[in-house]
A and B are shown apart, each in its own frame.
Chain A
Amino acid sequence: MPAVTETIETVQSVTDSGYKWGFETDIEMEFAPKGLNEDIVRFISAKKNEPAWLLEWRLRAFAAWKTMEEPRWAAVKYPPIDYQDSYYYAAPKQKAGPKSLDEVDPELLRTYEKLGIPLREQEILAGVEGAGGTPAEGRMPVAVDAVFDSVSVATTFKGRLEKEGIIFCSISEAVQNHPDLVRKYLGTVVPQGDNFFAALNSAVFTDGSFVYIPKGVRCPMELSTYFRINAKGTGQFERTLIVADAGSHVSYLEGCTAPMRDENQLHAAVVELVAMDDATIKYSTVQNWYPGDAEGRGGIYNFVTKRGACRGARSKISWTQVETGSAITWKYPSCILQGEDSVGEFYSVAITNNYQQADTGTKMFHIGPRTKSTIVSKGISAGHGQNTYRGLVRIGAKAHGARNFTQCDSLLIGDLCGAHTVPYIENRCLSAKVEHEATTSRIAEDQLFYCRQRGLSEEDAVGLIVNGFCREVLKELPMEFAVEAQKLLQISLEGSVG
């Protein structure tokens, strides 16, 4: 059974109820002094032994951040964040650079095991049950980069991938071993000054994943990064950069969890994707950050900037996301469709239950001719949740023959929640065609009764109907995630009906 689908079963046996990933890992940690100032930025850069150009890059970002104002236009409400009241560097103490998994703190490995993330390649290749499937069974293993708090702890299958010329490692490592590549692309899709949280991230990011697929190579396995925020009072600022050279193909999975806490934690990540001629990048996220308790206390603030540049002709970038966690979600994975005939896709399921708030959507910028974008957004609101879809489709004057299709559907469960749609459609090109549709619905009593009469419990009935509602999106997820996503949906809606 693929690695991540083990997550639910494994962890369910570890914890009692509620948020299954809420445990804490007891491990020795190293912290930077609390607060955010230029010294901290230098501290982080020094800790990671970065070259001068990167330190300069960070400092420019920090300078920009100081002049910027936190954006307040999203339809989400949260108390002011004190940026000085947080640690910006929290790393598990270990020897400099583990050469192999044997050198990684066993406690850390146990955490990932608990989460069902296989870090032992041997186990995977030997076909140990639950460890990820074997090529012999026809199921591909998944290469995993494990990030614990702000630091990448281990990346599996690096050797195997290197044989194809594929680079999959932490950004810290990429800066050391492939500085030219990193320098060439970092910040070219999301510039430091792009927005408040991107600037913050550019200044204090500690790690993330770096992927480079060479020309014509089809990555033989799914690549995955598993983020885990563990330490108290820290913010997580990871930075991911994926570059797919001409004719290459890669599918990348991002999964995240965090322990339960009373106070909120900030997650401000930046993801940059670059696709050259005829390249394809598929980026899937199943986000299950701690959503806060049933009364709305605690929970992760998920403010992320994700952007893909379809630079090459006929390139394609697909974003697929299932968002069920985090107290507040603010993210708009976007595509810049520059190359002619390039394609951008966005498939999303976002759930808000209890007191969660989500303001999420996508931006598609059509610049080149005959570019195409498809947006399918399914929002589910339950409890007191407030779910807003905010989308922008901008068609430039030169995007002749461009096409966009948008479908946003909202499902409301109960009468205390809200579902909102705010699409912006800006079209400057006469030969472009834009179509947008939005509907609102609910789970009808009749539908629930029909399922129950057939033997399904009320919760199972809701799960079944919700999955039916999200089907178009769920079928875009890689197999590894699809099953987990379905179960996640069900768990997230527990207690929402009746």
Chain B
Amino acid sequence: MLRIEGLTVEVEGKPILNGVDLEIPTGEVHAIMGPNGSGKSTLSYVLSGREGYEVTGGTARFNGQDILAMEPEERAAAGLFLAFQYPVELPGVGNATFMRTALNAQRKARGEAELDAMQFLKLARERMKALSMSDDMLKRGVNVGFSGGEKKRNEILQMALLKPALAILDETDSGLDIDALKIVAEGVSAMRGPGFSALVITHYQRLLDYIVPDRVHVLMDGRIVKSGGPELAKELEAQGYAAFQAAA
């Protein structure tokens, strides 16, 4: 489970997160919504360990481990996955090669047996079928020339292969049409279960019609100002963020 207490974070000397408290029990899907500039992406980056985000106070523990003290790849091996808002391109690096290398690196770190090329391919094809992805995605360079929708689907495919314990989806729905949105949602839903938690960060409520969260939190000015059940998302949509600004 993920427990964040009093987390304050600065970016280039400017405070962005001003005391975030959040607890996601194992097996639950939580959503974070907030206006632009509220610190949503900052939260996802600081949890995954990107450089340039300075923790000035507070803690974040995942299954008892202090993840803020770990390198990005160590957090990944511990079960953390970030679906990027803007997935980067890796020219010349084959998609299959990349995913197999990542999977095996994590398995090795956990003392598990690595998969050979045949085993990996079998696993990958299974997952891709479930996500309605064609085989040739495997041969292309990672995200090279992918449309926005393809990039997001590639993120979900990686998630399905790496089987994280905690998935952070950073505005996964931005730029997607309804069909792509459904596939992404199905991919996430397929992973739901007792060993899987997710933090869905989104600006719009629409995605949450397909990935129904257990709890919804509103992030404003770097702090969680309100938490509630799934109906909170609908409230937000009806009233807008301004209403919550007053409560902050």
Contact assessment for A449 and B51 in the assembled complex, using a CB-CB cutoff below 8 Å? yes
**Cβ–Cβ contact B73 & A468, under 8 A:** no
Q: How far is the CA of A456 from the CA of B90 in the complex (A)?
A: 14
Inter-subunit contact B101/A464 (CB<8 Å): yes
Q: Complex formed: what's the CA distance from A449 to B50 in Å?
A: 7
Asked if A470 and B82 sit within 8 Å, CB to CB, the answer is no
Task: Report chain B residues within 8 Å CB of A449.
Answer: 49-51, 72
- Closest CB of chain A to B142's CB: distance in Å? 8
Contact B90 A447 (CB under 8 A): yes
Q: Are A451 and B92 in contact (CB under 8 A)?
A: no
Determine if B84 and A450 form an interchain contact, defined as CB atoms under 8 angstroms apart: yes
B156-186: contact bitstring with A at CB < 8 Å (1 yes, 0 no)? 0010001000000000000000000000000
> Chain B residue with minimal CB distance to A446?
B88
Tell me which residues across on chain A come within 8 A of B131, comparing CB atoms: none
Closest CB in chain A relative to B60 CB, distance in Å: 16
B93 interface residue per 8 A CB criterion: yes
Q: With A454-B76, A454-B162, A455-B77 known to touch, is A468 a contact of B105 (CB < 8 Å)?
A: no
Give the complex CA separation of A449 and B72 in angstroms: 8
- 1/0 per position for A272-287, CB-CB distance to B under 8 A? 0000000000000000
Provide the A430-469 mask, 1 if CB < 8 A to any CB of B, else 0.
0000000000000011110111111111101000110111
B90: A residues at CB distance < 8 A: 447, 450-451, 464-465, 468
Q: Is the beta-carbon distance between B105 and A457 smaller than 8 angstroms?
A: yes
Cβ A471 vs Cβ B92 within 8 A: yes
Q: Do B162 and A450 touch across chains, with their CB atoms under 8 A apart?
A: no
Collect the chain A residues with CB atoms within 8 Å of residue B202's CB.
none
**Would A467 and B92 count as touching, CB distance under 8 A?**
yes
Could you say which residues of chain B place their CB within 8 Å of the CB of A445? 51
Determine if B93 and A452 form an interchain contact, defined as CB atoms under 8 angstroms apart: no
Q: Which of chain B's residues have a CB closer than 8 A to the CB of A476?
A: none
Q: Number of B residues whose C-beta is below 8 Å from A?
A: 34
Which residues of B lie under 8 Å from residue A173 when comparing CB positions? none
CB-based contact B93/A465 at 8 Å:
yes
- Most chain A beta carbons < 10 A, residue from B49, B77, B90: B90
User: In the complex, A467→B92 CA distance in Å?
Assistant: 8
User: Nearest chain-B residue to A378 (Cβ)?
Assistant: B92
A452 touching B92, Cβ below 8 Å: no
The A interface is mostly helix, strand or loop, or mixed, namely helix
Q: Are B73 and A456 in contact (CB under 8 A)?
A: yes
Contact indicator A472/B88 (Cβ below 8 Å): no
* Interface size, chain A (Cβ < 8 Å): 23
A23 CB, min distance to chain B CBs, angstroms = 29
Contact residues in A for B77 (Cβ distance below 8 Å):
455
Residue of A nearest to B76 (CB): A455
Tell me the minimal C-beta distance from A476 to chain B in angstroms.
14
Assembly CA distance A454 to B90 (angstroms): 13
Complex interface: chain B residues within 8 A of A453 (CB) = 48-50, 72-73, 75-76, 80-82, 84
* Complex-state Cα separation, A471 to B139, whole angstroms: 13
Q: Answer yes or no: B57 CB below 8 A from chain A CBs.
A: no
In whole angstroms, how far apart are the Cα atoms of A464 and B51 in the complex?
20
Residue of A nearest to B71 (CB): A452
Knowing A447-B90, A468-B90, A468-B141 are in contact, say whether A455-B102 is a contact too (CB < 8 A). Answer: yes
B11 to chain A, nearest CB (A): 14
**B109: which A residues are within 8 A, CB to CB?**
455
Q: Which residues of the partner chain A approach B162 to less than 8 Å between Cβ atoms?
A: 454-455
A2→B51 CA distance, assembly (Å): 41
Name the residue of chain A whose CB is nearest to the CB of B86. Answer: A446
Given A464-B93, A464-B101, verify A450-B73 contact (CB < 8 Å): no
Residues of A contacting B91 with CB < 8 Å?
A: 468-469
Determine if B106 is an interface residue (Cβ-Cβ < 8 Å). yes
Tell me whether A456 and B93 are in contact (CB under 8 A). Answer: no
Taking CB as reference atom, which chain B residue is nearest A441? Answer: B91
A460 to B, closest residue via Cβ: B105
Q: Does B229 contact A (CB under 8 A)?
A: no
Please determine whether B73 and A455 come into contact, CB atoms closer than 8 angstroms: yes
Would you list which residues of chain A between 462 and 487 have a CB under 8 Å from chain B? 464-465, 467-472
Q: A445-B51, A447-B90 are in contact. Are A452 and B72 (CB under 8 A)?
A: yes
A451 with B51, Cβ < 8 A, contacts A465-B90, A468-B91 known: no
Bound CA span A446–B48, Å: 13
The residue in chain B whose Cβ has the minimal distance to the Cβ of A474 is B92
CB distance from A347 to the nearest CB of B (A): 14
Q: Residue on A with the closest CB to B144? A: A468
Instruction: For residue B12, give the distance in angstroms from its CB to the closest CB of chain A.
Output: 14
- The CA of A471 and the CA of B98, in the complex, are separated in Å by 13
B132: shortest Cβ distance to chain A, in Å? 22
B87 contacts chain A at the CB level, 8 A cutoff: yes
Q: Which residue of A lies closest to B91 (CB)?
A: A468
A452, closest chain B residue (CB): B72
Output the least CB separation between A279 and chain B (Å). Answer: 32
In chain B, positions 48-95 with a C-beta closer than 8 Å to chain A are 48-51, 71-73, 75-77, 80-82, 84, 87-94
Q: Please give the distance in Å from A475's CB to the nearest CB on chain B.
A: 10
* A residues adjacent to B (C-beta < 8 A): 444-447, 449-458, 460, 464-465, 467-472
Please give me the 6 A-B residue pairs with the lowest Cβ-Cβ distance, nearest first: A468-B92, A468-B93, A452-B72, A455-B106, A454-B102, A455-B76
Instruction: Please give 18 more A-B residue pairs, beta carbons under 8 A apart, in addition to A455-B106, A455-B162, A458-B71.
Output: A449-B49, A449-B50, A449-B51, A450-B88, A450-B90, A451-B90, A451-B102, A453-B50, A453-B81, A453-B82, A453-B84, A454-B98, A454-B106, A464-B98, A464-B101, A467-B92, A468-B90, A468-B92
Can you show 21 pairs from A to B with CB atoms below 8 A apart? A449-B49, A449-B51, A452-B76, A453-B72, A453-B75, A453-B81, A453-B82, A454-B76, A454-B158, A455-B109, A457-B105, A460-B105, A464-B93, A464-B97, A464-B98, A464-B101, A465-B90, A468-B91, A468-B93, A468-B141, A470-B92
